[in-house]
Every structure is written in structure tokens, then in C-alpha cells.
Amino acid sequence: MVLTRSKKRVAKSQTPPLKRKAEKPQALALKKGGAKSQKTPPLKKQKKEVVEEDPSENDDEEVSDDAASTDVESEESDDGEEEGLGSSGFFSDDDGEENDDDGEELLGDDFLEGSGDEEEHSDSGSGSDSDSDEGDIEKESKLIDEEEAKEEEDAKAELLDFNKEAGDDSFRLPTEEELEEEARGPPDLPLLQSRIKEIVRALSNFSVLRPNGASRKDCVEQLKSDIASYYGYNSFLIGALFELFPPVELMELIEAFEKQRPTSIRTNTLKTRRRDLADVLLNRGVNLDPLSKWSKVGLVVYDSQVPIGATPEYLAGFYMLQGASSFLPVMALAPQENERIVDVAAAPGGKTTYVAALMKNTGLIFANEMKVPRLKSLTANLHRMGVTNTIVCNYDGRELPKVLGEKSVDRVLLDAPCSGTGVISKDESVKVSKSLEQIRKFAHLQKQLLLAAIDMVDATSKTGGYIVYSTCSLMVAENEAVIDYALKKRSVQLVKTGLDFGQDGFVRFREHRFHPSLNKTKRFYPHVHNMDGFFVAKLKKMSNMKQASEDDDEALGTVDEADVPSDDDEADVPSEGMEKQPSVPKKQQPKKTKESKEGLAKSKESKKGKKSKSKKGEDPPKIKKQRKNRTEMRMEISQAREEKRRAMREKSKEKQ
């Protein structure tokens, strides 16, 4: 009977508190996300309590079974009336303890066995569940990646299909008849612009967007003609630019040439600082900003209420109007104080004054300019900027080694005259005026100037021995080809320019293969760096020695090159050089006279044979004597030219 009554009491009285105890950890587990881990600790506590309270609970059951049952039933009825739900009521302290003890005693064996199993399963299941969860996450992530890849492929396929349909339906190359009709009338600019865009789009992905019945060559030729007629270029320059850039980038370059580059000024650190100059100009209504991180003296001017080239600060020499690209050669040269430096082509003086500012008016600068009209602007800027360490001279750059002496300076800056294909935005006449012959002439002159600049530098200089070569051209023949020629003819090496930005020079271009170190040169483009097209290279002279073969080649080159510019001078010079050669026929004349006296009785045929033998024997010694006297002839030619130039200058001074 005791067992049956205890079971009934358990069914009525013990179930509610068990539910209470089970509900509280479940609610906490749902909040914290760990239902299984929260259930196990209270079960362990219950196990310990049950083991300790087993003997006392058995005694209580034998003494008061009837009283406990009546008390429980009365308390349940009272709680039901108060709350309306008997299962959720709270018990008194004494009865609650007895009921808890009874419930723990009766449910102890089964409950403990079940709790131990659950703990074992939970421990083993937690590890398996974590592994399975990780495996599921990996599978799901892989599935997601595969789905995204498929979506991208589908999108690309749809885009290609759309481009095919659009290309097939909307664009085709014009026929010869249509081109003839266009040539008869004025150019249709909207039509040309739309056709240029369509051809560029087709060439960007020609395998997919290829027009019907058209080859790539046809598209390129049509694009060249359209660009030439729309933007006003000649066929040579467009062809040269097509060799340098792909169609898409070429259009960006051409569009950049149509816009003016931002106006930039350089602070003269001999007289002021950039911060002070900026404050003064801002007060005058000039909208400006620092040029860039790579320059500490540059300012870019957006707009101004006053003429930027006529302010009191400009007239006082606080700054100079100078393009951003013109900063680069001087920064690469990196002049040091108390050095001897030559600027081969100095006018109008922007680079020369920058060099003087970096040297802090110490050392010595030779500012050379060949064209007399440009000397005025050079000297005016030197005086305005407060430069006092510069000597202005008027010589051909190729003759400077003879004037200043070889191995006489520490550094040379050569901003060589060029075709100007990088500054089309400043001079639009370049679009039409340049040709292949002019490019070759400029390249020939640049090679001569660069060799002369290298000869002036002293390789044993403690601080110097550097040559910086720069042009405002994009042509490879005027840039990389000239540097490669100098590397072969002189003992120089390319070094880093010290400029952190810019694109590397070409190591290979079409069929040309240049020295691998040409990747140390720098190229600057308007559409990439927002400045004029420019090329900068820095050379280090390794030794002052020259090879004999190089001297012979240069001697021949100077004689041949001199024939082109000055015909009058050279017409007289050979006569002076040929005065030495009559000694050969004078020695041979008596031989001829003896042979003629002795052979009076002989036939004419024998005379002809002897004359031919004598001529064959005389030719080799002439050639040998010419080879021996090449250096002497070169010196005589140079002396004769200098004397004539001096005479011309004296005459011009007398006339003035």
C-alpha cells in the first residue's frame, strides 16, 4: 500500500515542481543557445542530493502516509482556488520538502539511470553534432560558391549574346560608296563620333563583337581615318600612336590632348616658402592647392580673379609659371651644393632656376641656349628669380665639350629638342606638322647632344657623374632608342630616376629590343598622370675612357653630319684638308716622267699597261694615309669652323 500511495502522490504533487525546474533551464537555454549544456548540471546536483537523503526519506514514508496525503490534497484544493491552475501552484515549506523528498526517492532509481544515459549521449552527441555541423557548413558554402559561379557565367553569356545581337543589328563598316559620298560633303561629326565609339567597342572584344564581313585590319584602318578627320591628325601621327597604345587607351589619350592641363606654379625657395606664397595668393583671389605629394614646391591653380602671370609676387620672383612635368628632370638630377652643372637647353629658364634654388645659389651653373631670341627670356627669368650662380652662354650643344672641356662638370641636364608629341594640348599644330623624316632628324640630333653631354661629365666626381635626359615626346625613336644608342657608345649605366610614379620605359617595342635596364626610365602620359607627356632617364658615367672603334665611328659621323646644315662652311674646309695630299702625286710625278721618257719608242699599249700598274700600286698608300690622318683632319675641320664663327660674330658686332 505504501508504494501505491506514493505513486499517486508523485503523480499529483511532484509533477508540477519537476516541470518548474525543467522549464527554467529550458528558457535560459533558448536565450543563450545551449539547451543541452544547461540541462546536465542540475541533474548532477539532484543525483548528489538523492544519494544523501535516501535513509531519511524511507523513515518519513512509514510514519506519516495518511497525514501527508490529506495535507497534500487540502493544499492542492486551496492553491487551485487561488490561482485557478493546480499544476502551477507553490507549496508550503514543510509539505514542499516532504513532497520533494518523496518525489526524489520514488523517482531516484529510474531518474538517475535515465540522467546518466542522457549525459553519456549528450557528451558523445555534442562532438558528433559539432563535426556534422562543420561538415554541413562547408557543404553549404561550397554549394553557395558554385551557385554564384554559375550565375556569373550565365550573366557573361547573356552579355555576350546581347553584344552579338547589338553588334549584328546596329553596327557595320561603311561601304566604299558610302565613304565616297561622305568625302564629297563636309564631315558629319556626330556620325564620325558614333562610328569611332562602335569600332573601339568592337576592337576591345573583336572575337565576339566582330562586324559582319570585316577583318581587324579593316576596322583599324577605318578607325584611323575617322580619328584623323574628327580630331584633325595626320595619318603618320595616328599610325605612330596606334603602335604605342591599344584602341581604348588611345581614345583616352586623344581626349586628354583636347583638354588643357591644369596651370601649375613653382615656389622660388630662394625668396619665400610655399605656405606663405599660398596665403598671399589666396588673399588675392587665387583658388589653388598643393600640386601633389611628390612635389614640395608646386601649386596647382584652378582659377584666379587676377592674371596669375602679372601679380606683384610674380614680378618679385616669388614663383614661376611652370608645367608639372618640367619639375621631373630637375628632381631626377638631384643637384648638390657647390657643384658644376650644365643645362644644355636652358631657355626659358624654368629648370635652370629650379636647379639654382636646390643648390641655394652655390656652385656654378652653365645655362646654354643655341637660339639667340630665346636668350632674353632666359636672362630675364634668372634676374627676376634672384639667381646669382649662373653663366648664360650661346653655343650649339654639340660643341660644349670643346668650349667647356671634357670631364669638366659634375652633372648635366639635357632637356633635348624634340617633336613635341606629348604637348599637343599646348601646340595643336603638332597634329599635322610632324612626319617620319622630322622624327628621324630629331632623333639624330638628340643622339649627338647626349654623347656631348656624357663627354662633359667627369666620371671621377665625388658627388656627381650623372646625366639626365628628358623629352616632351612620346615617340620611342626619340626616347628609348636614343638611350640605348648611348649605352652602346659610352661607358654609362642607367640608374633609377628617384621618381616614385610614372610608367616604366619600353624594353621591347615591335621589332626593336633594347637594353634590359631601360625599365628604369620613366614615361608620363596626360590621360594617366594629368600632366604633359614626358620621358625621363638618368645615366651614371662609369669611366672616362673611350674605345678606338667608337672614336672612328664618331669621326665619320661628325664629317657626314656636318655636310647637312652648313654647305658653305664645308665647301671650304675640304680644300684646306686636301692641301696635304698633293705630296703624294709630287713624289710620283718624277716616276711618271721617267717612264714617259724611257717609253717613247714603245707602243701605246705598253704605256697603258704600265700606267694602270702604277695606279694600282699607288691607291693602297693613299687609303692608309687617310686612316692615319683622320684625327688630324677632324681637328682642322673644327678649328676652321670656329674661326669662321668668330669672324661672323665679329662682323655682326661691328654692324651693331
- Give residue 84's pLDDT band: very low, low, confident or very high (50, 70, 90): very low
593 three-state secondary structure:
helix
Max avg pLDDT among 42-56, 160-174, 459-473: 459-473
∠ at Cα 505 (501, 506), nearest 5°? 150
**pLDDT score at 263:** 93
Query: Active-site residue among 219, 393, 418, 472?
Result: 472
Equal fold, 262-321 vs 324-545: no
Does residue 225 contact residue 199 with C-beta atoms inside 8 Å?
no
Mean predicted confidence (pLDDT) in 125-132: 54
- Give residue 418's pLDDT band: very low, low, confident or very high (50, 70, 90): very high
**pLDDT score at 164:** 54
68 is in an annotated binding site: no
Mean predicted confidence (pLDDT) in 145-157: 84
**CA dihedral defined by 354, 357, 363, 364, rounded to 10 degrees?**
40
Q: Is the pLDDT of residue 88 over 90?
A: no
Of residues 241 and 42, more confidence is placed in: 241
Among 250-254, 506-510, 648-652, which is the least confidently predicted range? 648-652
Q: Is the pLDDT of residue 463 over 70?
A: yes
369 is in an annotated binding site: yes
Among 38-52, 282-296, 436-450, 481-495, which is the least confidently predicted range? 38-52
**pLDDT score at 497:** 94
The CATH homologous superfamily to which domain 262-321 belongs is Sun protein; domain 3 (3.30.70.1170)
Of residues 323 and 609, more confidence is placed in: 323
347 is in an annotated binding site: yes
Q: Is the pLDDT of residue 415 over 90?
A: yes
Q: Is the pLDDT of residue 79 over 50?
A: no
Among 281-295, 304-318, 380-394, 587-601, which is the least confidently predicted range? 587-601
Grid coordinates 600640386 are at which residue?
Answer: 291
Side-chain-facing half-sphere of 427: CA atoms under 13 Å: 13
340 three-state secondary structure:
strand
- What does the alpha-carbon distance between residue 79 and residue 84 come to, in Å, rounded to a whole number? 8
601 is in an annotated binding site: no
- What does the alpha-carbon distance between residue 518 and residue 408 come to, in Å, rounded to a whole number? 27
Q: How much is the pTM?
A: 0.61
Does residue 102 contact residue 65 with C-beta atoms inside 8 Å?
no
Among 173-182, 265-274, 442-451, 554-563, which is the least confidently predicted range? 554-563
- Answer yes or no: 472 catalytic: yes
**pLDDT score at 138:** 81
The amino acid at 327: F
Of residues 442 and 631, more confidence is placed in: 442
Among 195-204, 207-216, 586-595, which is the least confidently predicted range? 586-595
Among 69-83, 332-346, 357-371, which is the least confidently predicted range? 69-83
- What does the alpha-carbon distance between residue 404 and residue 456 come to, in Å, rounded to a whole number? 8
Q: Quick one: 535 exposed, middle or buried, by C-beta within 10 A (0-12, 13-18, 19+)? A: buried
**pLDDT score at 281:** 95
Q: Is the pLDDT of residue 27 over 90?
A: no
- What does the alpha-carbon distance between residue 166 and residue 80 come to, in Å, rounded to a whole number? 82
Residue 26 per-residue DSSP state = H
Of residues 469 and 30, more confidence is placed in: 469
Q: Where are the beta strands (DSSP E) in 359-491?
A: 364-368, 390-393, 411-415, 466-471
What percentage of the chain exceeds 70 in pLDDT? Answer: 64
Residues in the chain, overall count:
656
Of residues 447 and 184, more confidence is placed in: 447
- What does the alpha-carbon distance between residue 333 and residue 343 come to, in Å, rounded to a whole number? 11
Q: Is the pLDDT of residue 286 over 90?
A: yes
44 is in an annotated binding site: no
Mean predicted confidence (pLDDT) in 455-475: 94
Mean predicted confidence (pLDDT) in 203-212: 82
348 is in an annotated binding site: yes
Max avg pLDDT among 126-130, 186-190, 440-444: 440-444
541-577: per-residue pLDDT in tens?
998 887 544 443 443 343 333 333 333 333 333 333 3
**pLDDT score at 620:** 45
- What does the alpha-carbon distance between residue 333 and residue 355 come to, in Å, rounded to a whole number? 9
The amino acid at 130: S
Among 158-162, 194-198, 515-519, 646-650, which is the least confidently predicted range? 158-162
SS3 content of the chain, % helix, strand, coil (to 5): 65, 10, 25
397 is in an annotated binding site: no
- Of 213, 227, 141, the closest CA to residue 172 belongs to 213
Q: Is the pLDDT of residue 31 over 90?
A: no
| E strand or H helix at 504 | strand 503-504
Q: Is the pLDDT of residue 411 over 50?
A: yes
How is the chain split into domains, by residue range? 187-258, 262-321, 324-545
334 is in an annotated binding site: no
- Give residue 590's pLDDT band: very low, low, confident or very high (50, 70, 90): very low
The CATH homologous superfamily to which domain 324-545 belongs is Vaccinia Virus protein VP39 (3.40.50.150)
Q: Is the pLDDT of residue 331 over 90?
A: yes
Q: Quick one: 237 exposed, middle or buried, by C-beta within 10 A (0-12, 13-18, 19+)? A: buried
